[in-house]
Amino acid sequence: MGNTHPYTVLAVDDNLLNLKLIEKSLSKEGYQIFSADNGPDARSIALEKLPDLILLDIEMPVENGFDVIKKLKEDAATNAIPVIFLTGVSEVDSKLKGFELGAVDYITKPFHPQEVLARVRIHLKLSIATNSLIQDQAAKLRQVTKAQVAMLPLPEEYPTAKFGVYYRALQEAGGDFYDILNISEHITGYFVADSSGHDIETSYMTASVKALLAQNCIPVYSPAESMKMINDVLVEILPQGKYLTACYMHINRTTMKLTIINAGHPPVVCQPVKGEPFLIKSQGDVCGMFSDAHFGIKRINVSRGDRFFIYSDGLVESAENKITWASGADSLLPIYKTLVGVPYGKAPEEMISQLFGNDTYPEDDIVLLCIEV
């Protein structure tokens, strides 16, 4: 949104009087208004004009407002446009459905022009602030020199995180890395990522991503919101074709709740204190490539003593043996079972020893974290 052009609003309503009222009240305040009286035309205009905000009627024939917003959010070009619903329906369920689909607000009919103007202003300000924050973070990270290579955290530096780690980079420009985040006294974040490529520039991305994690993995953001903010900035700063696969695990040791955000990464392994090890599978887009990326989200209850293993694909993949992580992850479950009696701090080394022994070497970088609740 530049300051040399008027802000644009797309008004969608099958009632032409409502459209005229919106156009008249907003245009005299300097907004440029596009209008549509049906869903398909609205989506076509949104894709062509990319308005700064959409006022969308819910009750329309053929394609209602819920149908329209679903399709807008599925399209990368229109996904980020804020949508305010216009509705004569006051039921809570209807409003909640709209919010779940991505609406930012509701205006109840019959509406007053000054209310429409006020809500348009508020949500444009919020949109401007969010975009400004993303651009500001991206600008700051561009200033990080290539000489800044972040140190990987050690278990003794984070005793309350209760983790052990194995890390091995086959080249100086390793693409795998991890981080530990003390979000609060009882909440810890664990992040494992694998950058595409193995050039020097890739290894320097560690410092930038660590800075992003520190800025965005904080109590005021949910794990999903943190990952979205990180993704939005990475889309801005990563070179074309570069991306990360990543897994962000968030443990609250007070509520005993665990959240996993998966961005195209191998599945987390759960070794419950009582029971057999199993994979926590969830599909998600890679991080840093798509502005409208959708990540896999899993939320589970945990118990004291439960263990979780996060790793990069070098642990399970083999180009030589034509094994991908999709098939290789399942095959390693029997090994995790043998680690039950091994202290969590030593479990990653024991896993690597059993898997590779002394005579073979991994074909790729490896990060393996073992976390105990």
238 and 306, same domain (yes or no): yes
257 and 133, same domain (yes or no): no
Q: Would you say residue 371 has pLDDT above 70?
A: yes
Over residues 280-293, the mean pLDDT reads 90
Q: Would you say residue 150 has pLDDT above 80?
A: no
Q: Would you say residue 346 has pLDDT above 90?
A: yes
CA–CA separation, 109 vs 20, rounded Å?
Answer: 15
Q: What is the CATH number of the domain that holds 199?
A: 3.60.40.10
pLDDT tier for residue 176 given thresholds of 50, 70 and 90: confident
pLDDT confidence of residue 329: 82
pLDDT confidence of residue 118: 93
31-35, 53-57, 83-87, 173-177 — which is least confidently predicted? 173-177
CA–CA separation, 72 vs 328, rounded Å?
Answer: 37
271 and 324, same domain (yes or no): yes
When divided into structural domains, the chain yields a total of 2
Query: For residue 333, is it within any domain?
Result: yes
23 and 125, same domain (yes or no): yes
Query: For residue 150, is it within any domain?
Result: no
115 and 192, same domain (yes or no): no
pLDDT confidence of residue 313: 86
Q: Would you say residue 314 has pLDDT above 60?
A: yes
| Alpha-carbon dihedral sign for residues 330, 332, 334, 337 | negative
pLDDT per residue as tens digits for the range 119-147? 999 999 998 888 887 777 766 655 543 33
Q: What is the CATH number of the domain that holds 86?
A: 3.40.50.2300
CA–CA separation, 214 vs 235, rounded Å?
Answer: 18
Tokens 């907004």 — which residue? 31
92 and 220, same domain (yes or no): no
Residues 6+ apart with CB under 8 A from 292: 73, 75, 76, 79, 80
Over residues 328-353, the mean pLDDT reads 91
Query: For residue 146, is it within any domain?
Result: no
Query: For residue 203, is it within any domain?
Result: yes
pLDDT confidence of residue 149: 36
pLDDT confidence of residue 170: 63
CB atoms under 10 Å from CB of 182, counted, come to 15
163 and 133, same domain (yes or no): no
Over residues 63-91, the mean pLDDT reads 89
118 and 92, same domain (yes or no): yes
pLDDT tier for residue 355 given thresholds of 50, 70 and 90: confident
pLDDT per residue as tens digits for the range 182-220? 999 999 999 999 887 655 455 567 778 888 999 999 999
210 and 314, same domain (yes or no): yes
179 and 137, same domain (yes or no): no
Query: For residue 16, is it within any domain?
Result: yes
Percent of the chain with pLDDT over 70: 86
Over residues 278-291, the mean pLDDT reads 91
Over residues 272-282, the mean pLDDT reads 92
pLDDT tier for residue 361 given thresholds of 50, 70 and 90: low
pLDDT confidence of residue 205: 73
Query: For residue 219, is it within any domain?
Result: yes
Domain final position from 84, 113, 141: 141
| Residue ranges making up the domain that contains 81 | 8-141
pLDDT per residue as tens digits for the range 215-271? 999 999 999 999 999 999 999 888 888 889 999 999 999 999 999 999 999 999 999
